[in-house]
C-alpha cells in the first residue's frame, strides 16, 4: 500500500504558508493498493496538482480512470474539484463515492460548479461520471476493502479504513473528541491500523479557549486514540492554516513524547506500507 498526500491543511488554503514544509493545500490524498489500483480521498485544493499530473502521465489514446471518495462536502474538501484536469477530458472516467445517496451527492457537486460561481457547469464537463454510495457494510474500492465510521463533525463526516492484505490505513480527517474519554467507534475502526491519520487542527490550549463545538480535535487526543487503538503509526493532519512550521514542529515533538511513532502529514509526503 502506498499513500501520497497532496494537501493536509484544514478549513482553507493558506497562501502565506506556501513555503511551509507542510504545504498550503487543503485535504487530498491518494491511496494505492499493492496491485496498483488507487482511490483519491477528498477533493481539496491538493486535487489540482494530482489532476495535472494524471492528465500529463496518461497516454492520450487510453481512458483515464479516477475514483474519488469523499469524507464529507465542506468546501475545504471539495473546492479543488472544479480545477481537476480529468474532469474536462472526454476520455476520462471518474467515479464519485460517498456515504450519501448518489442523487444527493450529484446535486451537491453540481451546486459547486454552477453560475455565477463557476463558468462551466458540472454536468457540462465532458468526462464520464458515475456516482456510488458506500453503505455501513463497507465496500471494495480500488482493489481494497474499505470500511467506514461516523465522525463527530457538523453536517456529518466519515472516517475510512483501507485494507490491502495485512496493511491498513485509517483516515479521520475532521472530528471532535468527546468531552470525556475517546471516540470508541473511531478507536474500533482504527484498531491495529498500520497508519492512522487524525485531525490535529488545534493545540489543546486553542481548543480550550473557544474552539469547543467547532468539529475538530487536537494532537493530544490523536495520541490518546492511537494508543488506545494500538496503531503502528500516527500522522497528524488537517493542520491549521494559521500554524507555521515552528508551531507544527512543537506539536509533533510533544506528541512524540507520548507516542513515539508520530509524524505530521505534509503535501508531497509518500508513505509506503
Compute mean pLDDT per 10 residues along the chain, 273 residues long, and list them.
97 76 96 97 97 85 91 98 97 97 98 95 98 98 97 97 97 97 97 98 96 97 98 98 95 98 98 97
Q: In the numeric block, which cell numbers belong to residue 158?
A: 466519515
pLDDT at 59: 67
SS3 assignment, position 140: strand
Closest by CA to 151, choosing from 56, 269, 72, 70, is 72
- Residues near 180 by beta carbon (within 8 Å), at least 6 away in sequence: none
Q: How far is CA 263 from the centre of its chain?
A: 16
Alpha carbons 215 and 202: distance in angstroms, whole number: 11
Alpha carbons 247 and 263: distance in angstroms, whole number: 14
Q: Residue ranges per domain, the chain?
A: 2-272
Classified by CATH at the fold level, domain 2-272 comes out as Metallo-beta-lactamase; Chain A (3.60.15)
Q: Which residues pair with 114 in a beta bridge?
A: none
pLDDT at 27: 98
Torsional sign, CA 214, 219, 221, 222: positive
pLDDT at 14: 78
Measured in Å, how far apart are the chain's first and last C-alpha atoms?
5
Alpha carbons 25 and 8: distance in angstroms, whole number: 6
Q: If residue 115 lies in a helix (H) or strand (E), which one and from where to where?
A: none
Amino acid at each position: 500500500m502506498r499513500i501520497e498526500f497532496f494537501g493536509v491543511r484544514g478549513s482553507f488554503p493558506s497562501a502565506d504558508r506556501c513555503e511551509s514544509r507542510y504545504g498550503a493545500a487543503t485535504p487530498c490524498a491518494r491511496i494505492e493498493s499493492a496491485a496498483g489500483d488507487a482511490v483519491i480521498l477528498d477533493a481539496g485544493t491538493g486535487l489540482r496538482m494530482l489532476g495535472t499530473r494524471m492528465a500529463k502521465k496518461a497516454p492520450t489514446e487510453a481512458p483515464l480512470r479516477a475514483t474519488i471518495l469523499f469524507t464529507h462536502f465542506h468546501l475545504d474538501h471539495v473546492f479543488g474539484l472544479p480545477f481537476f484536469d480529468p474532469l474536462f477530458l472526454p476520455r476520462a472516467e471518474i467515479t464519485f463515492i460517498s456515504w450519501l445517496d448518489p442523487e444527493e451527492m450529484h446535486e451537491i457537486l453540481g451546486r459547486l460548479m454552477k453560475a455565477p460561481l463557476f463558468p462551466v457547469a458540472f454536468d457540462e464537463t465532458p468526462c464520464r461520471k458515475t456516482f456510488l454510495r458506500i453503505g455501513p457494510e463497507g465496500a471494495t474500492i480500488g482493489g481494497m476493502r474499505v470500511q467506514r465510521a461516523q465522525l463527530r463533525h457538523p453536517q456529518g463526516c466519515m472516517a475510512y479504513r483501507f485494507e490491502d492484505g495485512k496493511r491498513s490505513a485509517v483516515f479521520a480527517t475532521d472530528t471532535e473528541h468527546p468531552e470525556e474519554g475517546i471516540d470508541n467507534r473511531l478507536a474500533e475502526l482504527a484498531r491495529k491500523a498500520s497508519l492512522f491519520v487524525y485531525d490535529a487542527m488545534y493545540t489543546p490550549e486553542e481548543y480550550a479557549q473557544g474552539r469547543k463545538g467547532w468539529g475538530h480535535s487536537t494532537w493530544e487526543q490523536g495520541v490518546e486514540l492511537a494508543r488506545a487503538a494500538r496503531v503502528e503509526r500516527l500522522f497528524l493532519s488537517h493542520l491549521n492554516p494559521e500554524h507555521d512550521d515552528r508551531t507544527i514542529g512543537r506539536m509533533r515533538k510533544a506528541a512524540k513524547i507520548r507516542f513515539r511513532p508520530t509524524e505530521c502529514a505534509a503535501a508531497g509526503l509518500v508513505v509506503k506500507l
